[in-house]
Structure 1
Amino acid sequence: MALDEEHAKISHLIDNLPDSSQKTYNELFPLLYEELKKRAYSQLKPERNIHLGITNTDLVHEVYLKMLKQKGLKCQNCNHFLAIASNCMRQILIDYARKQHADKRGGNNMRVPFHEELIPTEEPQKRSAFIDKKIDELEKYDNRLSEVVIMRFFNNMTMQSIANVLKLSERTVKRDWKRAKNWLYNKLSN
């Protein structure tokens, strides 16, 4: 299949997701499989030192099952679909980390250092669950800032891609990213 034909087919399938069936997902996922595996690999990378018992292939398959359950999914384009899939990956990994460390989690809040890309250094599963909690707080404070953090930090999206998905200027996204980092820095350092 020629590249233009493949892009047209992907666009057509994504446009039909709100009325989709399992058949639509069965056609769409193989077309985006390699990109989804790259994103899964990227999401698992910080967790490599601690075994979660999940591979990038497993994660893509989990995303397929999770997205299949969502009814009426509306995506603006392929980037938007991939951002949603990446967010599903993040949620799945957080759930795995929570399950794996449920008995070890106490009521104590841990201090997490803040780095340029919000990457704390200690115990990846606990850190992921802690950061996820802070992002939920950020979402209550400002939903758009939370979306920018998720797309940038967890989905490794460029500022331009985020701007396209959110229908904002790249400058606005950069400003939001800076505001979100400052907000998170204050929360993570308390």
Structure 2
Amino acid sequence: MQSSEELIRVLYDELHRIAQREHRRAGSPNTIQATALISEAYLKIRQRTDWDSDRHFLGCAATAMRHIMIDAARARLAGKRAAEVHGYTRAIESQAATAADDAELAGLGDAMRRLAVADPRLAQVVDCRFFAGLDERETGFVLGVTDRTVRRLWVQARAILYSGLAVAD
């Protein structure tokens, strides 16, 4: 199998598509740009060399991107709390919109962490389907299960995440 560096070169267009989707999904104008997101993800996964397939690599890259976006949202939320303590002024409308977006992203990160603890396989399905954009067949290949199993796990994972996010509100 190829190294992380080789896979980044070969799969850059697909990684850029995943990064753009993550950037749009985050919704905040202060989020990391797609190219920077790819670079950050590469730094997280570059040492690994045991890739099963291109899809396995893309799934791990998508998970790394999700972690980076959630960490950035949490850092912005922490910065806003510090700014309020120090009395910095900001535009109220943009602060409220960004805070809501960042809070939602941080909430999703918390829900994914709880899901990964409760059932790591369900979290892998969400990473593959939602964050990497893989279809049922591709997800099944990455996880070593059938399309039907992926479909069942996907329904279960979405239900758990939805209930976890609803409780957090």
Aligned-residue CA RMSD in angstroms? 1.9
Match of 1:47 among 7, 26, 32: 26
Separation of aligned partners in 2, 1:50 and 1:152: 25
Match in the other structure for 1:62: 40
Matched, 1:101 2:77: yes
Any conservation in 2 of the 1:162–1:173 contact (CA below 8 Å)? Answer: yes
* 1:168 correspondence with 2:168: no
Say whether 1:88 aligns with 2:64. yes
TM-aligned CA deviation for residue 189 of structure 1: 2.2
Q: Counterpart amino acid of 2:120?
A: N
**Residues 134 and 187 in structure 1, CA contact (< 8 A), matched pair in contact too:** yes
- Letter of the 2:44 partner, please give it: K
Q: 1 CA distance for matches of 2:145 and 2:132?
A: 18
Contact 2:7 2:54 in 1 (8 A): no
Amino acid at match of 1:178: V
Give, in whole Å, the separation in 2 of the partners of 1:98 and 1:79: 29
Cα offset for 1:32? 1.5
Task: Look up the SS of the partner of 1:156 in the other structure.
Answer: coil
Cα pair 1:43 1:155 within 8 Å, conserved: no
Q: Give the SS at the match of 2:11.
A: helix
Task: Give a deviation string over 1:93-138, Cα, whole Å, max 9, x none.
Answer: 1111111111457xxxxxxxxxxxxxxxx92221111111111111
Matched with 1:139 is 116
Q: Give unpaired runs (5+ residues) of structure 1.
A: 1-11, 18-23, 106-121
CA distance in 1, matches of 2:20, 2:112: 22
Q: Is 1:152 aligned to residue 129 of structure 2? A: yes
String of CA shifts for 1:60-79, please: whole Å, max 9, x gaps: 111121212x4x44221101
What CA distance in whole angstroms lies between the structure 1 residues aligned with 2:158 and 2:67?
Answer: 20
> What does the per-residue CA deviation read over 1:145-181, in whole Å, with 9 as the maximum and x for residues that have no partner?
1111122222222111111100100000100011112
Deviation at 1:50, TM superposition (A): 3.3
TM-score using structure 2 length: 0.80
Aligned partners of 2:24 and 2:132: how far apart in 1? Answer: 12
Aligned partner of 1:179: which letter? Q
> Matched residues in 1 for 2:166 and 2:156: separation?
15
Which residue pairs with 1:37 in the alignment? 16
